[in-house]
Amino acid sequence: MGMNVGNGAEGDVMVEVNTTPLIDLMLVLIVMLIITLPPQTHAVKLDMPVTTSPPPLTPPEVVDIVIDFDTTIYWNGSKVENAQMLKSYLTAAAHKEPKPELHLKPNKLAKYDAVAKVLATAQRLGVTNIGIVGNEALE
């Protein structure tokens, strides 16, 4: 009846679906879905109270504290002799109204320990308005 010539593997037809166009179609549909989605906004609408506080009548006093490279401390240009003197200056500044602004200006060669001690002492004594001024402002 039928005659097979050659081995059996050559005559079998391999039926496989080409999935490349299906993958391409899926990717196009995903891109279209992403493009058509509205952007998500995570905004929370709050009704904040509106206050009209008047500006301060007098601007606060500005105190410059300079820490030199050899850990010498200057309060508005005058040398602070010891830690007790610094504590008395900071205590007086903490009790003034309006609170003065303290501008801490450490030298770039000053030890971190000296700067940290001044900041810790100021915080412990209740000084709230203190900021560190960078070296670029000193030039």
For the chain, 139 residues long, give each residue's pLDDT as a single digit of tens: 555 555 555 667 778 888 899 999 999 999 999 899 887 777 778 788 888 877 767 888 899 999 999 989 999 999 999 889 999 999 999 988 888 999 999 998 999 999 999 999 999 998 888 888 875 644 4
How far apart are the C-alpha atoms of 52 and 72, rounded to whole Å? 44
| Residue 126: inside a domain | yes
| Residue 97: inside a domain | yes
| Residue 27: inside a domain | no
- CATH number of the domain that residue 127 is part of: 3.30.420
Whole-number pLDDT of residue 10:
62
Report strand pairing: 73-75 vs 62-67: antiparallel
Whole-number pLDDT of residue 135:
58
pTM metric for this prediction? 0.56
- Number of separate domains in the chain: 1
| Residue 38: inside a domain | no
Whole-number pLDDT of residue 133:
86
| Residue 23: inside a domain | no
| Residue 124: inside a domain | yes
Q: Domain residues for 87?
A: 62-137
Whole-number pLDDT of residue 122:
92
How far apart are the C-alpha atoms of 74 and 104, rounded to whole Å? 10
| Residue 110: inside a domain | yes
| Residue 43: inside a domain | no
